[in-house]
C-alpha cells in the first residue's frame, strides 16, 4: 500500500479519540437530527491500529449522513502509526434496512447525493449525482484524501440549511 | 448521542466474519487482494469492512505470536510520548 497518498494519521488510538471527542463536543446538530453512533471499533489490544469509526446522522426528510473511517498501522519502520487507509463520507436518501447496530444499511452501490471515498485500491474518488467513481484527478477545488469528516458534516448542514447545491457548498468542479 | 466503544472481537470472531464474507461473495480473501475484477464485484462499504477485518486478523495474529512480557511492553509504549506524535489530523487537514 502506498501510504504516502493518505497523509492523515495519528500516533495512537488514544490520540485519535481525543481529537474526535474535542471536535464532536463542538458540533451542533439541528435539533430534529438523530444519531446512530458514533461507534468506535478499538484496536484488538493496546493503542496501535487498526481501529474504525462509523457514525450516522439521520434527518426527518429521509436523508442521512454516514461516516466511516478505517485506520491501519503503518509498517514499524515507518513508525507504526494509525493511518487513515479508508474513508467514506456519504450523504443521500435513507435506506429502510438497518444492520445489527441499527445503522442504515445501504443497498449495494445504491445512489448518493454526494459521497467521498478513499480506498486502498481505487484511491480518492467522488460520487456525485448520477456520476460514480469520479477520480481525484478529474476534480478541482476538493482534496478528498485530506478531507475532514467534521467539515463534511458542516457542509452538508450548510447545504440543507441554505439550499445551495452541493458542488457550490463544497467548492468543487468536475473537469470534463 | 455519546460516543460508544464496541467490544474488540477475538481472533475466532474475526475469522468467522471473514469466512462469512468469503461464502457470501464466493471470493477467497487472497483473491480479493490480488484480483481487481473480483474486488470490484463487492459493494464499496462491504469491501471496506472486509479489508478492515483482514487488518484486524493480521494484528491479532501478530499479537498472539508475541511473548506476554513483550505484549506488556508494547502496551506501555502505545500511548507514546507527546513529542513523538505524528502531525495531527487537524494540522494535516487544515
Confidence of residue A7 (pLDDT cuts 50, 70, 90): low
Nearest to B52 among A15, A21, A70 (CB): A70
Three cell numbers written together for A112: 448518493
Residue of A nearest to B44 (CA): A109
pTM of the model: 0.84
Q: Using the 8-state DSSP alphabet, how is residue A36 labeled? A: E
Contacts of A43 by beta carbon, 8 Å cutoff, 6+ apart: A13, A49, A50, A51, B8, B59
Contacts of B17 by beta carbon, 8 Å cutoff, 6+ apart: B9, B53
ipTM (interface pTM): 0.87
8 Å CB contact between A10 and A79: no
Identify any residues that bridge with A91 across adjacent strands, giving them in sequence order.
Answer: A65, A114
Domain with A13, as residue range(s), is: 3-174
8 Å CB contact between B57 and B18: yes
Confidence of residue A2 (pLDDT cuts 50, 70, 90): very low
Instruction: Please report, for chain B, the start and end positions of each structural domain, with discontinuous segments joined by +.
Output: 11-78
A50 touching B (Cβ < 8 Å)? yes
Residue of A nearest to B92 (CA): A8
The share of chain B scoring above pLDDT 90, in percent, equals 41
Amino acid at each position: 500500500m502506498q501510504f504516502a497518498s493518505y497523509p492523515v494519521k495519528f500516533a495512537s488510538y488514544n490520540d485519535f479519540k481525543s481529537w474526535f471527542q474535542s471536535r464532536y463536543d463542538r458540533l451542533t446538530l439541528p435539533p430534529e437530527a438523530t444519531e446512530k453512533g458514533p461507534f468506535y471499533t478499538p484496536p484488538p489490544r493496546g493503542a496501535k491500529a487498526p481501529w474504525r469509526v462509523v457514525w450516522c446522522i439521520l434527518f426527518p426528510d429521509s436523508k442521512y449522513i454516514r461516516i466511516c473511517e478505517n485506520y491501519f498501522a503503518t509498517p514499524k519502520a515507518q513508525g507504526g502509526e494509525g493511518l487513515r487507509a479508508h474513508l467514506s463520507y456519504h450523504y443521500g436518501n435513507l435506506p429502510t434496512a438497518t444492520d445489527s447496530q441499527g445503522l442504515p444499511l445501504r443497498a449495494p452501490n445504491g445512489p448518493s447525493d454526494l459521497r467521498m471515498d478513499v480506498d486502498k485500491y481505487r484511491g480518492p474518488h467522488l460520487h456525485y449525482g448520477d456520476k460514480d467513481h469520479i477520480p481525484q484527478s478529474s476534480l478541482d477545488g476538493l482534496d478528498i484524501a485530506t478531507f475532514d469528516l467534521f467539515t463534511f458534516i458542516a457542509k452538508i448542514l450548510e447545504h440543507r440549511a441554505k439550499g445551495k447545491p452541493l458542488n457550490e457548498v463544497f467548492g468543487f468542479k468536475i473537469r470534463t | 448521542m455519546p460516543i460508544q466503544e464496541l467490544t474488540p472481537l477475538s481472533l475466532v470472531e474475526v475469522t468467522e466474519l471473514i469466512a462469512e464474507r468469503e461464502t457470501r461473495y464466493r471470493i477467497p480473501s487472497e483473491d480479493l487482494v490480488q484480483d481487481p475484477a473480483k474486488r470490484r464485484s463487492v459493494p464499496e462499504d462491504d469491501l471496506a469492512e472486509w479489508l478492515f477485518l483482514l487488518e484486524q486478523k493480521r494484528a491479532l495474529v501478530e499479537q498472539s505470536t508475541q511473548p506476554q512480557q513483550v505484549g506488556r511492553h508494547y502496551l506501555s509504549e502505545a500511548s507514546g510520548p507527546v513529542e513523538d506524535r505524528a502531525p495531527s489530523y487537524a494540522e494535516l487537514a487544515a
